[in-house]
Amino acid sequence: MTILFRVLSVFFLCLITDQLLAQQLQTIDHIYDSKVETVLLFPQVSTNLSDPALTLNPPVISLDEQVTLQLEFDDLTATYRSFRARMVHCNADWQRSVLNDIEFTYEYNDNPITEYQTSINTKIPYFHYRFTLPRMKLPGNYLLVVYDERNRNNIIFTRRFSTYQNRVTVAADVHFSSGPARQFSDQQIDLSISYKGYQVISPQDDFKVIIRQNYRDDREIRGLRPTNVQAFDQVLEYRLVDLSNTMPGGNEFRFFDTRTILSRANYIERIERPADRNIAYVQVDQSRNQGVYIQSDDFNGQFVIDHRETGIGGTNADYIETIFTLKIPEVSGLDVYVNGAFNFWQLNNRNRMAFDALLGAYRSTILLKQGVYNYDYTVGTTGPQPKVDENYVEGNFSSTENDYEIFVYHRPPASRADQLVAYKRVGVNKRK
């Protein structure tokens, strides 16, 4: 009787938690706890977890390969806290699906995060946590939810990830826009889908195609319809004359290097070392929306955590007050942000810049862990329907080197949720 009572208690507790999650959960990348920083989720394609380049890969893995996803994050309270993780299944539009946990997980969907280390020789102490995500049953979209073990309703952060099985074949080509007015600023993605041997009722309607630029959820193309259906060959073609498959090319990202504080590295103007923290001043930036495109290598907006002296960024890298300065005239009616993957490409108070009349420039201070960071500047309006413009400061060029991902979703007959049946990465203007 006691065992039955415990089982029922756990069942109802999980049911209540699911109901609360459904009410309050946003299915986006977001950190809710201000003391948690540097949330990384990446494929574990190597046993060397200290390799900083691993984090440059997006959290998208194949179910047909023995690759898992690795989670890492820091807790700046400097005291141990117990965290747990669970997965939420989502459809192609990132809305929560109706699937039960048992339909997409192999194990009980409530995992303790037990692996942690304390920071070493850092002015700002922290606990560094690691967690290997369990494998999923179904290909599709998922939301990783990390919460406080002592209070299941206290969500710490959420991160999106996807798993796929290539059941159809995607061919894609990226080039400058075919529209004369946009050929120097935009990039066009033409693609085709071969669904030979795959059961589909209405090919022109059943596939959902999403194109993403540089792993950014704020740079997506959705709602594409095929322009040609080759029923005999079982091929769909997407070559749209309305330019709905084009995207601004943007510019190569700016970057700076804070892997060491013993000397000034690339694009660091100066470093101050008070007793309680370190402060790094990034070199003053100017607008780049005028003039010609200038080629440079970048991480396409991503960043890596690293510590030059030890090579162990996870626990030896310190947190640095990083000061950005953008020297442009004050912009009326618009907010200016310093943006990048370090902030999940979101525009909020953390990365909003303030105009300093004495400097005649915008300035922002952001606490960032030591490493190499890509970033750019964005202007935008606030309100119910905000407008964002990266071209205002950075410019757009079709010659820019970019990465594109193509996601193809389908809901098989009798299935209750969308599945990711094809995934392809393609680059444009690659120099290596």
Reported as a single tens digit per residue, the pLDDT across 58-93 is 999 999 999 999 999 999 999 999 999 999 999 999
> Smallest Cα–Cα separation from 126: which of 406, 312, 369, 300?
369
Please report whether residue 387 resides in a domain.
yes
Per-residue pLDDT, 291 = 86
- What integer pLDDT is reported at residue 384 of this predicted model? 65
Backbone dihedral region for residue 7 (phi beyond 0: left; psi -120 to 50: alpha; all else: beta): alpha
pLDDT tens sequence across 194-233:
999 999 999 999 999 999 999 999 999 999 999 999 999 9
Range of the domain at 314: 254-394
Instruction: Name which of 38-52, 102-116, 366-380, 385-399 the model is least confident about.
Output: 38-52
Cβ distance 315 to 359 under 8 Å?
Answer: no
Say what the pLDDT of residue 20 is: 45
The SS3 call for residue 166 is coil
Q: Please, what sign has the CA dihedral across residues 218, 55, 403, 292?
A: positive
The answer as to whether 46 is a domain residue is yes
Domain of 190: which CATH number? 2.60.40
Q: Are residues 280 and 238 in the same domain?
A: no
CB atoms within 10 A of CB 29: 21
Q: Looking at the domain assignment, is residue 3 inside a domain?
A: no
Q: Are residues 273 and 294 in the same domain?
A: yes
Q: What pLDDT does 18 receive?
A: 54
Amino acid at 425: R
Q: What is the pLDDT of residues 286-323, one digit of tens each?
A: 999 988 999 999 999 999 999 999 999 999 999 999 99
236 and 130 assigned to the same domain: no
Question: Rounded mean pLDDT of 336-353?
Answer: 96
Q: Which residues fall within 8 angstroms of residue 374, CB to CB, at 6 or more apart?
A: 253, 254, 255, 298, 299, 300, 301, 302, 303, 340, 341
**Average pLDDT of the chain to the nearest whole number:** 93
Q: Are residues 185 and 270 in the same domain?
A: no
Nearby residues of 242 by Cβ (< 8 Å), 6 or more positions away: none
Indicate if 46 and 146 belong to the same structural domain: yes
Residues 37 and 135 in one domain: yes
Together in a domain, 151 and 223: no
- State yes or no: pLDDT of 173 exceeds 90: yes
- The answer to whether residue 426 scores a pLDDT higher than 70 is yes
| pLDDT tops 60 at residue 17 | no
Answer whether residue 48 is part of any domain.
yes
Give 381's pLDDT tier (boundaries 50, 70, 90): confident
Percent pLDDT > 70 in the chain is: 93
Q: Are residues 317 and 372 in the same domain?
A: yes
Distance CA 383, CA 26 (A): 19
Average pLDDT over residues 346-371: 97
Tell whether 4 is covered by a domain. no
pLDDT band at residue 50, thresholds of 50, 70 and 90?
A: confident
How many structural domains are present in the chain?
A: 3
179-195 pLDDT, tens per residue?
Answer: 999 999 999 999 999 99
Q: What is the pLDDT of residue 265?
A: 94
Q: Is residue 315 part of a domain?
A: yes
- Domain finish residue from 135, 164, 193: 164
Average pLDDT for residues 371-382, to the nearest whole number?
A: 93
- Do 28 and 155 lie in a common domain? yes
Q: Is the pTM of this model over 0.85?
A: yes
Of 164, 190, 223, the domain-final residue: 164
Indicate if 214 and 235 belong to the same structural domain: yes
User: CA–CA separation, 110 vs 10, rounded Å?
Assistant: 11
Q: Has residue 15 been placed in a domain?
A: no
Handedness of CA 257, 131, 210, 381 (dihedral sign): negative
Q: In the prediction, which pLDDT does 305 show?
A: 98
pLDDT at site 431:
82
Whether the per-residue pLDDT at 172 is higher than 90: the answer is yes
Q: Residue 45: what pLDDT?
A: 78
With cut-offs at 50, 70 and 90, classify the pLDDT of residue 394: very high
278 and 388 belong to one structural domain: yes
pLDDT of residue 379 exceeding 70, the answer is yes
State which of 164, 199, 214 marks the end of a domain. Answer: 164
One-letter amino acid at 308 equals R
Three-class DSSP category at 306: coil
Given a cut of 60, is residue 15 above it in pLDDT?
no
How many degrees, rounded to 5, is the angle at CA 69 between CA 67 and CA 72?
A: 145
pLDDT in tens, 105-161: 999 999 999 999 999 999 999 999 999 999 999 999 999 999 999 999 999 999 999
Portion of the chain with pLDDT greater than 90, in percent:
88
Q: How many CB atoms lie under 10 A from the CB of residue 204?
A: 13
The verdict on residue 302 lying in a domain is yes
| One domain, residues 64 and 140 | yes
